[in-house]
Structure 1
Amino acid sequence: MLQGYKSFAGVGYHVNIEDPLGFAKVGITAAYTPEKKLPGNERGHVDMTGSYLGWHGELSWNRSDFYDLFGPTKRSRKGNAAKGGYDWLLIYDEPRKLDLTFDLEYYDKIDTLPNAQNVQTTFTRLATGKVGLRYTDVRRSLGAVDEEKGLTWMLEFDENHVSGQDIPQLRGGLDLGFALPLAHSSVWMRSAAGVASGDRNNPVANFYFGSFGNNYVDDGTVKRYRDYSSLPGFKIDEVSALSFVREMVEWNLPPVVFESLGTPGFYLNWLRPAVFAAGLWTDPGRSALRKNYASVGTQADLRFSVLHWYDMTLSVGYAVGYQGSRRAGSEWMISLKIM
């Protein structure tokens, strides 16, 4: 198999191991990047993941990723990482769910922040503890292709330990959706806010924003612009802040459903358009650092099926970014979700 590491391509092998009932799962990936521009200690890559019921863990050395070959978002990282956590379902009464999560992460010999690919570190070790709470109660009508109404909220507390310092971060979010009289059309208000305690010059203390976040070929969420850290029209991690408030209004237009377009081995399901506008206020409590940003854009998602079994989504988006009243940039996005 092919693997991506930073901006280079490598080769490797992946194996999955699991019990007959699928409760316990282990995935192992070993790869090598034969690139002379890389130091010798970065050419080998190992990543092991495991899960059992609500438990999950990961061990990695110079983590590589197949999807790094296709676009701007990079998941590969130099160094060693050990992660573990537990997801506890407090409420499971669909569509209502309440999930409490615990995670511990340790990184060594790193040169880049784990969650910000364009931010270099001045340290090599980082330990992080996370506690999160997430509630969802969303609904859709018969024939819909997306959630049409309801609410979700989340609250997460992170404690970062680096260079003898403890740097806490607190972040929350609230999404409210309302169905419109138009068939399968809805409006969503998506809010997020966060605050951290630490030095503005310390990269760990900041929140980072920018870009749609989709790769040209991807396996992640299709509508990545809904994430709190997304800011289409700006570069990845271009905007940073110790505290922030983000508001988004999203209008999901009625989808176009294809009844008989294609063949049994390849056919189109639906086309889902949406428009959005987001405002971001960084460091609102500090007049010397306070800045305002905005993003206005659109995205259309085309769902199609291949060989009766594989559902794929082709997404195209465009957005314009503003800093204050000044146009700061624009961004095109095209992405094919294959898994």
Structure 2
Amino acid sequence: MSLFEGDKSEQRLPVSLITGFLGSGKTTLLNRLLRHDGMKDSAVIINEYGEVSLDHLLVERVDGEVAVLASGCICCTIRSDLEETLRSLLVKRDRGEIPPFRRILVETTGLADPAPIVQLLLNNPLVSHFLRLDTVVTTVDAVNAPHQLDRQYEAVKQVALADRLLITKSDLVEDISALELRLRRLNPGARTESVSHGKIDPAQLFGAGLIDPELKRIDIERWLNERAFAEPHGDAGHSHHDHHAHHDHGHHDHDASIASFMLAFDEPLDWIEVTRWLGYLRNARGQDLLRVKGILNLRDEPTPIVIHGVHHVFHPPVALGGWPDSDRRSRIVFITRGIARAEVLELWQAVRAAA
């Protein structure tokens, strides 16, 4: 019998985060999304100081904070903190004070670091018991992104933490291939595509959460199997190389310090050793541990265990019902700032030697 929590994702509402630097098209995207029939049962949370108001879509006020949009979606603003806003929405829904909703979209300000919101959804018991992190969507302005990525670390962080990268305003730029390459180097695990005026099918955008409750599969498959630097089977210490955001000519040190790499282990791992290893990493370099996702084959565990963390905060490990494919290796993806693959591997070897 597994010591870990099973997949209860279907019991929790998905929360998707829409982030991106100032003027990159977040609100345009949100407005487009909310016009889709399949998004009518959504709740939308926008920052009080959002770049563009959604007022033109309002139909009626439910109370002082919540409004119903023309699409039928619920909309409110963050007036105190996000945790309180989320809990308030859930309470009002359960009391029948506002129409029911099946998903939540959160739009951040252009200067926001998305990590605290991701952490809140991963491991705050007052929130994560009812809600689950689905997808982090980052809009990238094709015109201004090269300059923003050079000068603003927030823009780099928004890209590095994303599950989906949407390039906007590409019609205003002759060639976006250099930007696409730069985004792949910053975050090879994210799906990247160009969108025009926010036109995208929501079914293609969301559903990148830790575990997809409908398909009963883990999103780590995309992270591991669709990576630009996927490698053949092999021992963790030898055949899996890191993929750095190399310092190209004209690029700022921001993305030169971002690295993305995968470690794979052929033999089953000891959970105590894994927790010590990740604990040391979080304590020593948590601020630079941007995102971690992994599927683990643990000794004495009949099914795979999924881990997911951002900075110091990790989601409680989840036991899946079975392996998604024939590959039984443990595989962990790291996106870091200033932490090399060799450093992470050296710490793992030290933990193993001390056991």
TM-score, normalisation: structure 1: 0.26
- Which protein, 1 or 2, shows the higher relative CO under an 8 Å CA cutoff with sep ≥ 6? 2
TM-score by length of 2: 0.26
